């Protein structure tokens, strides 16, 4: 298996390397790829050192699979060039998510849709991933009519610049304008703006939750509204999700379905004050769900609190899971008999 990671020096790229190691992903040749200013730097994977290479050199190497985490414009330019030489691309940016010719994949939900012909595969937005892991099995049983979503998203989701801004502010320093990832301080603050505002006054992040959820669940008729908030949490996104189903449900059956769902951990013991929090989800690959309760204000209403590590399941882990599925089912050029 010949594997490239594009954008390897970024936050998600670093976590991608950790996840590849932890899951013992089969790698015979490794190609770390980044922008020209990072070419020549040394990256260590599984105890072996590699020099960061350019996009052009990586394409010439014709890797079997390339995991991208380098931003939308980079993916739009370079992913087709990798695909043209036979490489299967798993892209972590928003570039291809709503492209009708590309599949948007959360392995626990819809990996079965993948085929050998899929050369560019989209990794969904971090907040969408964790939410659909919890919602998909309930949607199959009861049918979701409407979702009202409020997110509490870690600043790490914005990238290295946001992390630097937070750490400066936490130490008591005022970040200079050029050092700020946000228009306002993030330390001891909540910013009700994730990404840019659109013409409908929603942010891009909020509309990702709408559009991506409908696409992944193959249900464009689900009504969805969202408010996305950036919070001073060092790793981990939390979501309050209000669900209205078409069909009535039994709350104990809902708990049983969630307990049996792949990739999901139910943490919901009120007597012991146990519920999901980003503090406990950090550095874990699972999605955690709790505060499971009926919404008594409407028929067929349910409240869920969903938490996951946004850099892992929300980005790197989901991408590696897609790659592992492709390898296990022999859907890429290389022949792999077994993968975790």
Which positions ≥6 away from 224 have C-beta within 8 Å? 146, 147, 149, 209, 210, 213, 214
Rg (CA), the chain: 20
Distance CA 151, CA 198 (A): 18
Distance CA 287, CA 276 (A): 9
Cβ 287 vs Cβ 312: under 8 Å: no
Choose the catalytic residue: 17, 139, 194, 237: 237
Distance CA 340, CA 324 (A): 7
Element (H, E) at 108: helix 107-110
294 class by beta-carbon count within 10 Å (0-12 exposed, 13-18 middle, 19+ buried): middle
Cβ 264 vs Cβ 281: under 8 Å: no
Choose the catalytic residue: 126, 139, 194, 329: 126
Distance CA 1, CA 64 (A): 6
- Rounded to the nearest angstrom, the gap between the alpha carbon of residue 60 and the centroid of all alpha carbons in its chain is 29
The yes-or-no answer on residue 237 being catalytic is yes
Closest to 121 measured CA to CA, from 263, 321, 328, 339: 321
Distance CA 226, CA 230 (A): 13
- Rounded to the nearest angstrom, the gap between the alpha carbon of residue 37 and the centroid of all alpha carbons in its chain is 26
Angle, vertex CA 317, rays to CA 150 and CA 138, nearest 5: 50
Catalytically active residues, by annotation: 126, 237
């Amino acid at each position: 298996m010949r594997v490239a990671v594009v954008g390897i020096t970024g936050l998600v790229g670093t976590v991608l390397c950790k996840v590849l190691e932890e899951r013992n992903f089969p790698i015979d040749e490794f190609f770390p790829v980044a922008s020209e200013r990072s070419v020549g730097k040394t990256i260590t994977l599984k105890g072996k050192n590699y020099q960061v290479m350019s996009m052009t050199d990586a394409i010439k190497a014709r890797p079997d699979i390339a995991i991208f985490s380098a931003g939308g414009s980079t993916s739009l330019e370079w992913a087709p060039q990798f695909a043209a030489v036979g490489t299967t691309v798993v892209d972590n940016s928003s570039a291809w998510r709503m492209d009708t010719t590309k599949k948007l994949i959360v392995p626990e939900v819809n990996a079965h849709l993948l085929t050998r012909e899929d050369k560019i595969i989209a990794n969904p937005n971090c907040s969408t991933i964790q939410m659909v892991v919890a919602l998909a099995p309930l949607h199959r049983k009861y049918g979701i009519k409407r979702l009202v979503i409020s997110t509490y998203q870690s600043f790490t989701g914005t990238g290295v610049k946001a992390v630097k801004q937070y750490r400066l502010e936490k130490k008591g320093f005022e970040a200079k304008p050029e050092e700020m990832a946000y228009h306002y301080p993030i330390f001891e603050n909540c910013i009700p703006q994730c990404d840019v505002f659109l013409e409908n006054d929603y942010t891009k992040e909020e509309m990702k939750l709408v559009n991506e959820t409908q696409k992944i669940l193959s249900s464009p008729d689900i009504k969805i509204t969202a408010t996305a908030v950036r919070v001073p949490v060092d790793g981990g996104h939390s979501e309050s999700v209000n669900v209205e189903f078409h069909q009535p449900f039994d709350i104990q059956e809902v708990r049983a379905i969630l307990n049996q769902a792949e990739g999901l951990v139910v943490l919901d013991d009120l007597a012991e004050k146990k519920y999901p929090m980003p503090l406990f989800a950090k550095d874990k690959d699972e999605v955690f769900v709790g505060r499971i309760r009926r919404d008594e204000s409407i028929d067929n209403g349910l409240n869920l609190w969903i938490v996951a590590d946004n850099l892992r399941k929300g980005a790197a882990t989901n991408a590696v899971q897609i790659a592992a599925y492709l390898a296990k089912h022999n859907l890429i050029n290389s022949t792999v008999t077994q993968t975790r």
